[in-house]
Amino acid sequence: MDIRTPLGQSVFLLLFSCIVGFGSNLVRGDSIPWIAPQIEIAESITPETESNEPVLAAISLSQAKNLFDDGTLFVDARDDAYYTAGHIQGALKTAFLMELIFTIEAIQDKNAPLVVYCGDPGCGDSEDLAYNLQDSGFNKLYVFKGGWLEWSKAGYPSERDQ
Amino acid sequence: MTRYFKVQIVFFFRLIIGIIFIYASWDKIAHPAAFATAIGNYHAVPFGLENMMAMVLPWLELFVGVCLVAGIMVDGAAIMCILMNIVFIFAISQALARGIDIECGCFSVSKEGGENIGLQTILRDIAYLAMSFVILYRNEKRLEFFPKPV
């Protein structure tokens, strides 16, 4: 690395910032973890609305199926076209956030459980939507990470849009 | 590109960009956790790497700003400035395109001083980008102390 060349200088600045940035994070009082925490998979869930403690947790396929059998409301976070092609039975679609919020509120209370899902474990739309809904005051949010991929593979109840 | 930018303009731009970057780094260095959240809101950084970015980026902004003002490694600082502004423009554009309404996290990450992203934020970054290119393609190296101009 030649510090006299422009490229060498930029590499030096970047490395120096890394050293100072990581180093200062190690010694400062209000340090942050290296990796930002992800939503954890819930070990057990109680879909009853007895407690009003806010929940935002990820759930597995079997947990999602249990909630489905209990009649929990599902929200599809994917785009319209995917929703039309096939979605979990009874799931709401997400055209506009405000519209979705009004639709949910017309159906159930803000403390009632909600399951949010998108295409597959890699898509982040369900988490984005869950955080948005949490900001809007919904308290019991479950992110079904497996999404449409796992649900349809398992052959659980689904439907197409007319 | 031809090197025809006037010495005064280049020095003026160096001061502007330098001071803006130093100012922008200040609040982020003071509040790393809030800045990490601000980066996370863009949903553009995978695997929770926003925390590492929140540790390094403010310091990079600070050093680049200091280098531009003090006339040290101006070439390298200008290149980093260009890269950072390209990243910022990309991050803001994709957030706007996806329709997520978030705080900029550009100058202030605390709730009171926050501004939301919009077209004006992109235009501002494009202006900074243009100024950085002027600095990189300057004609004469005046008021620079390291490396010594030949």
Does residue B142 surpass a pLDDT of 70?
A: yes
Q: Are residues A76 and A22 in the same domain?
A: no
Whether A27 is covered by a domain: the verdict is: yes
Q: Are residues A19 and A66 in the same domain?
A: no
So what's the pLDDT on residue B74?
95
Write the Ramachandran bin of B143: left for phi over 0, alpha for psi from -120 to 50, otherwise beta: left
- Whether residue B109 contacts residue B30, with contact meaning beta carbons closer than 8 Å, is answered with no
Query: Which domain does A16 fall in, by range?
Result: 1-37
Contact B60 A32 (CB under 8 A): no
Q: Are residues A63 and A135 in the same domain?
A: yes
So what's the pLDDT on residue B112?
58
Instruction: Quote the crossing angle between the two packed helices B50-70 and B7-30, to the nearest 10°.
Output: 150
So what's the pLDDT on residue B116?
82
Whether B120 is covered by a domain: the verdict is: yes
What's this model's pTM, rounded to 2 decimal places?
0.70
Whether A47 is covered by a domain: the verdict is: no
Q: Are residues A33 and A59 in the same domain?
A: no
Q: Provide the percentage of residues in chain B whose pLDDT is more than 70.
A: 92
Write out chain B residues lying below 8 Å of A18, CB-based: 56
The 10s digit of each residue's pLDDT in A37-73 is 777 666 666 555 455 567 788 888 999 999 999 999 9
Q: Are residues A75 and A138 in the same domain?
A: yes
Average of pLDDT values for A24-42? 83
- Lowest pLDDT segment from A127-131, A156-160, B7-11: A127-131
Distance from CA of B79 to the nearest CA of A (A): 7
Write out chain A residues lying below 8 Å of B33, CB-based: 30, 32
Whether B149 is covered by a domain: the verdict is: no
Kindly report the average pLDDT of chain A as a whole number: 86
Whether B143 is covered by a domain: the verdict is: no
Domain count of chain B?
A: 1
Whether B13 is covered by a domain: the verdict is: yes
For residue B56, CA distances in Å to A16, A76, A153, A162 come to 9, 36, 42, 51
So what's the pLDDT on residue B90?
94
Confidence of residue A94 (pLDDT cuts 50, 70, 90): confident
Kindly report the average pLDDT of chain B as a whole number: 88
Average of pLDDT values for A115-137? 83
Q: A117 pairs with which residues across the strands?
A: A76, A144
- B144 in contact with A, Cβ within 8 Å: no
Whether A50 is covered by a domain: the verdict is: no
So what's the pLDDT on residue A137?
86
Domain count of chain A?
A: 2
Q: Cis ω on the peptide bond leading into residue A6 (within 30° of 0)? A: no
- B102 in contact with A, Cβ within 8 Å: no
CATH number of the domain that A69 lies in?
3.40.250.10
The 10s digit of each residue's pLDDT in A3-22 is 889 999 999 999 999 999 99
Q: Are residues A66 and A117 in the same domain?
A: yes
The 10s digit of each residue's pLDDT in B116-135 is 888 999 999 999 999 999 99
Q: How far is residue A32's CA from residue A17's CA, in Å, rounded to a whole number?
A: 17
Query: Which domain does B27 fall in, by range?
Result: 7-136
Q: Are residues A111 and A144 in the same domain?
A: yes
What amino acid is encoded at B144 in this protein?
Answer: E
Q: How far is residue B29's CA from residue B8's CA, in Å, rounded to a whole number?
A: 31
Average of pLDDT values for B93-99? 83
**Going by C-beta distance under 8 Å and a sequence separation of 6 or more, which residues neighbour residue A20?**
B59, B63
Q: Which of residues 38-67 of B touch A (CB under 8 A)?
A: 40, 43, 47-52, 54-60, 63-64, 67
Q: How far is residue A103's CA from residue B86's CA, in Å, rounded to a whole number?
A: 40
CA B15-B19-B23 angle, 5° bins: 175
Distance from CA of A66 to the nearest CA of B (A): 29
Confidence of residue B70 (pLDDT cuts 50, 70, 90): very high
Whether B80 is covered by a domain: the verdict is: yes
- B128 in contact with A, Cβ within 8 Å: no
Does residue A133 surpass a pLDDT of 60?
A: yes
- Whether residue B32 contacts residue A25, with contact meaning beta carbons closer than 8 Å, is answered with yes
CA A116-A45-A84 angle, 5° bins: 20
The 10s digit of each residue's pLDDT in B9-61 is 999 999 999 999 999 999 999 999 889 888 887 878 887 788 999 999 999 99
Does residue A27 surpass a pLDDT of 50?
A: yes
- Name the interface residues of A facing B (CB cutoff 8 Å): 3-14, 16-18, 20-22, 24-25, 28, 30-38, 124, 128
